[in-house]
Amino acid sequence: MGDQKLRQIAYHEKEHYRAFEPRMVDNSHPYVAWLNGYRLRKAVEMIHDSMSGKTVLSICGGDGQEADFFQRQGANVTVMDLSVVALSAARLRNTALHCACMDAEALTFADASFDWVIVRDGLHHLARPLKGFYEVERVSREGFVILECQDSLAVRFLSVLGIAESWDPAGGYVYRFSRREIHKIFSSMQTVLDWKIHTAWLPFGSDMLGLFPAFKRFIYPAMKQRLINRLLSTGATRSAFKTAFQVGNFVLGRWGNSLIVVGRKTHV
């Protein structure tokens, strides 16, 4: 196993994964819950097909948050990760999940082993992200979902300013995919019949908003104050928030940092 993989495992087991304590996302405020689940909900919407009864593989699935989401959609889910600690937590999170410890760049599953394959924020940790991309396609039968960082001019500018990271805390390069790159990859594969790409401005991670210290320290506690929470919890305010988010991403989302890709290999 390469040094980069060992560093990634060591970092995530130190900072994120506990064998007997799966991470819990703070969804106590409806706005935060809505943003935290945005990418997974959008992916299911783009798939435009029921997940009930489908076999799903969650690659680089950590302690099973994505796998748990698709299992609640009615899918039969396998979560795969290189960390045995993460997989131990995944088993505690949801006993219905199947777990497999293996390398995302060299999956031991046969071709077309799963109806759908999902990877969220995992490819950019790999030493060979494109190899992981092709493994996602190889082991899927109906299609696959990739939720990753987008390479856009706006994100590159933020990277120059030091706002968008070029290197992750474990020492790996943050590989970002562009729309043009996705188009070229799918065109060369010739197994993907059609694909959809959605981009948006979103914080990364499953517990997205909690990753921002200023938000966590000042804004989130204020949102939980009784009076403010009451004002924010009205139906009209929630609708206005979602509308503002959707309008903003309609105008500026093409250059956003978040890339949601659904590739379909068969027509359903």
Residue 148 pairs with which residues in a beta bridge? 259
Cβ 83 vs Cβ 19: under 8 Å: no
Element (H, E) at 67: helix 65-72
For residues 62-82, one letter each, b for 16 or more C-beta atoms within 10 angstroms of the residue's C-beta and e for the rest, the string is bbbbbbbbbbebebbbbbbbb
Strand, helix or coil at 101? strand
For residue 152, the model assigns a pLDDT of: 94
pLDDT band at 23 (very low <50, low <70, confident <90, very high): confident
Q: What pLDDT, on a 0 to 100 scale, did the predictor assign at position 243?
A: 93
Give the pLDDT confidence score for residue 207 in this predicted structure. 55
- Domains along the chain? 3-28+43-205+253-264 (3.40.50.150)
Question: Can you tell me the mean pLDDT for 186-208?
Answer: 83
- For residue 231, is pLDDT > 60? yes
Is pLDDT of 204 > 80? no
Q: Is the pTM of this model over 0.85?
A: yes
Q: Which residues pair with 119 in a beta bridge?
A: 59, 146
pLDDT at 150 exceeding the cut of 80: yes
Q: Which one is predicted more confidently, 28 or 61?
A: 61
